[in-house]
Amino acid sequence: MPSTIPFVGHSIQFSKSPVEFLTAAYFKHGPVFSFTMVGKTFTYLLGSQASALFFSSKNEDLNAEEVYAKLTTPVFGKGVAYDVPNNVFLEQKKLLKTGFSISRFKHHVHLIERELLEYFNRWQHEGEADLFASLSELIILTASSCLHGKEIRSLLSEDVAQLYWDLDAGFSHLAWVLPAWFPLPSFKRRDRAHRKMKELFLEAIRMRRSSQTKEDDMLQTLIDASYKNGRALSDDEISGMLIGLLLAGQHTSSTTASWLGFFIAKHQDIQDALYEEQRKVFGKHADGEHANGEQSHGHLSYDGLKECHLLDLCLKETLRMRPPIVTMMRMCKTPQKILNYVIPAGHQICVSPTTNHRLPDTWHQPQFFDPYRSFMDKFVYVPFGAGRHRCIGEAFAYVQIKSIWSYLIQKFHFELVGGKFPEVNVTTMIHTPSDPIIRYRRR
Radius of gyration of the chain from its Cα atoms, rounded to whole angstroms: 22
Query: Exposed/middle/buried for 305, CB within 10 Å: 0-12, 13-18, 19+?
Result: buried
Length reported for the chain = 443
* 391 annotated ligand-binding residue: yes
| DSSP three-state, residue 136 | helix
177 alpha-carbon distance from chain centroid: 22
CB neighbour burial string for 338-370, b if at least 16 within 10 angstroms, e if fewer: beebebeeebbbbbbbbbbbbbeebbeeeeebb
SS3 content of the chain, % helix, strand, coil (to 5): 55, 15, 35
Phi, psi of 62 (to 5 degrees): -120, 105
Query: DSSP per residue over 353-421, as a string?
Result: HHHHTT-TTTSSSTTS--TT----STTTS-BTB-GGG--TTHHHHHHHHHHHHHHHHHHEEEEEGGGPP
Phi, psi of 45 (to 5 degrees): -115, 110
Number of other residues whose CB lies within 10 A of the CB of residue 71: 17
On whether the CB atoms of residues 144 and 108 are closer than 8 A, the answer is no
From residue 33, alpha-carbon distances to 77, 340, 384 in Å are 35, 11, 23
Known binding-site residue numbers for heme = 391
Known binding-site residue numbers = 391
